[in-house]
Structures are given as C-alpha cells and as structure tokens.
Amino acid sequence: MRIVPAVTAFVAAIGLTVAIAATSHAIPQKGQSAPPFKVVSTSGQQISLANYKGYVLVIDFFATWCPPCREAVPHLNGLSRKYGRQGLQILGLSLDDGDEEAVKDFIASKRVVYPVALAGQDVQADYGLRSLPTAYVIDKRGNVADRFMGGSEATLRNMEALIKKLLAE
C-alpha cells in the first residue's frame, strides 16, 4: 500500500517539472519583441539581435544532421540573393552541440551565403525550440512576425510571402 503514495508523488513531481519548464521557456509569440541574443559566427563575427534593427531577419534554427534542415539551405540562399538588397538578412543558428568544425564543413558543402553561429542553450530556450528546422521571421522593429516549423514547400512559400510583405512596409 505504500507504493500508491510514492507513485502519486512521483507523477506529481514530473507534472510540476513539466509545468515549470513550459512556463520558463515560453515560445515567443507574434507581435512580441524577439528575445535578444549574442552569438559569435563561425567566421568570428560578434552578432546580436540589435545588429538587425531596420532589417527583416530570418533566424533559421537548424542542425547539420537534420535532413529537412539541409534541404532548406538552397531556399534560404535563394531568399538571401533575391531579397538581400531590399533589406532581408538571414542568420543560421546551429544546434550542433559545440561542434563548430562540423558546422563549418556544412557551410562549405552547402555553400551557405549567410552568417552562421552556434546557438547556445540560452538562445534555444529563449526561442522555445521544440523541433527542427524552426525559423523565426523578425520584422524591422525587432518583433516576431511569425514562426515556421518544418521545411515543406508550403511552409517555405508562406515564409517568402511574409518576407515580401514585411519588406514592403
């Protein structure tokens, strides 16, 4: 009979832990200020969210081992080439746990044309990452315009439509 209270306490503790984790790492919502961050690119450049004020920014959270992430790179490169002169910036933030060499190899093999940095645990938590790839589109004022998860053609088309709209504002 002592097992029932122990199991109940264990289940309650797990539920409390999940509830605390969910509230402490809320997903940024449309219209909210994008969480600030500071990272160092693979080329050694200091990058922060403040660098992108006045630009439309796509923050692409990816991993080198993620097939949909790999497939999204040509599309992101194309967006950078197509809209870069109009004020679009793209930043790739890798979730490859401290493996900068793997990320550099990925950048070279995929011919990535935008800056890439490793995303620390704090950045991952601040952006409430649950799956990959996840891209946030940030407007010129530094607010979250939308979040896109996955790499389907429809997702990429919707992202591009939003970018065009934001660039026209």
**Could you tell me the fold of the domain covering 28-168?**
Glutaredoxin (3.40.30)
Percent of the chain having pLDDT more than 90?
81
pLDDT at 7 over 70: no
What is the reported pTM? 0.84
Residue ranges per structural domain of the chain = 28-168
**Lowest mean per-residue pLDDT among 17-26, 31-40, 85-94:** 17-26
* 92-122 pLDDT tens trace: 999 998 789 999 999 999 999 999 999 999 9
**Cβ partners under 8 Å of residue 54, min gap 6:** 87, 140
Contacts of 135 (CB under 8 A, 6+ apart): 58, 59, 60, 61, 72, 147, 148, 159
User: Higher model confidence: residue 123 or residue 19?
Assistant: 123
Whether the pLDDT of residue 4 is over 80: the answer is no
State the pLDDT at residue 97. Answer: 85
